Structure 1
């Protein structure tokens, strides 16, 4: 084997070792993280959280001052989400009772917008995917409810959502939200939920 071939072989071995290590570590948690409920709430209004989320790209406010019916204020609001998380043991027949070492602390999440028709180019067909930070601990035997940002202000100022301000078009997305965390001994764990979001210039409150 010449030197070039040896280099390739060693590189492949290192790459495969790193990949396997990541897979093993990610799968070491004794529990599954489960998304029990994922809802959205329209920004700037009084709607309660629910599904689907009607995300208004521009809201015309006539109050409070200085906004009036004569001089309304075009306003962009972000939209928030709410998720309920719990843990399910992988080995339901185990004689060992779970401990607080199995509690999982969520530290971040990722939002990816997709369309059912397959047109998913970020910044053209759908908003760009993005990562956010949120912190909460899912206790063993309990649940955690977290609030988080689901649609950012900036997304409504960029294509394709900005173009909906002067268009009757509605963009419907099946949005994936993945939550990432670790248990108390450092095992990585994640779970993904989906929510339908309809983007458009809807009627104002």
Structure 2
């Protein structure tokens, strides 16, 4: 094979591969999923906020709940004078979510430095209007496992500060994958309940 043909083939491959990268990152759906708000409520409470103080020891192990408000928007809304109108095909059905905890110091071993990740199932169809979804952010059993179990009895003197990265996965009405993600701060401790 002549040298220039090989070079042309390599250049063509690089151009095609570079063009595919954006599709892999952004997907091929004509809609995108938008996180309008991500909040959490400590176990046994219905008071949601954008910062969670998770109590690792209460009268019983309660999960901490998360609540996200999602909506769908068109990737190409059309010109300002004649915007594209969404159709019934422009909805996304969420089927699962994943919560991963991380620390700012880089320590991330699950079950030692941070709680184990949470994989959950949820089925909700999201359209153009805001749709709230409640999910388990911190499992009840996580409060009975290290590292959260080691905080019990410290009366708030020991705090584990993490960020919870929450990803939502689903597909549009045509079956194309759609994802969205958000983060919030979670402080774990045996908070003083007086």
The verdict on a shared fold, with TM-score over 0.5 as the criterion, is: yes
Structure 1 length as normaliser, TM-score? Answer: 0.77
Secondary structure at the aligned position of 2:89 is classed as helix
Are 1:107 and 1:181, in contact at CA under 8 Å, matched by a contact in 2? Answer: yes
- Alignment partner of 1:91 is 2:79: no
Structure 2 length as normaliser, TM-score? Answer: 0.81
Give a deviation string over 1:54-74, Cα, whole Å, max 9, x none: 1000114xxxxxxxxxxxxxx
Task: State the partner residue of 2:131.
Answer: 144
Superposed counterparts of 1:32-181, under 5 Å:
32-45=32-45, 48-60=47-59, 75-93=60-78, 96-139=84-127, 141-167=128-154, 168-181=157-170
Alpha-carbon distance in structure 1 between the residues aligned to 2:165 and 2:89: 28
Deviation at 1:96, TM superposition (A): 4.6
Kindly tell me the number of residue pairs found equivalent between the two proteins.
173
Deviation at 1:25, TM superposition (A): 10
Deviation at 1:32, TM superposition (A): 1.3
Are 1:26 and 1:188, in contact at CA under 8 Å, matched by a contact in 2? Answer: no
Are 2:118 and 2:139, in contact at CA under 8 Å, matched by a contact in 1? Answer: no
Task: State the partner residue of 1:199.
Answer: 188
Deviation at 1:26, TM superposition (A): 6.7
Secondary structure at the aligned position of 1:101 is classed as coil
Deviation at 1:52, TM superposition (A): 1.0
Task: State the partner residue of 1:187.
Answer: 176
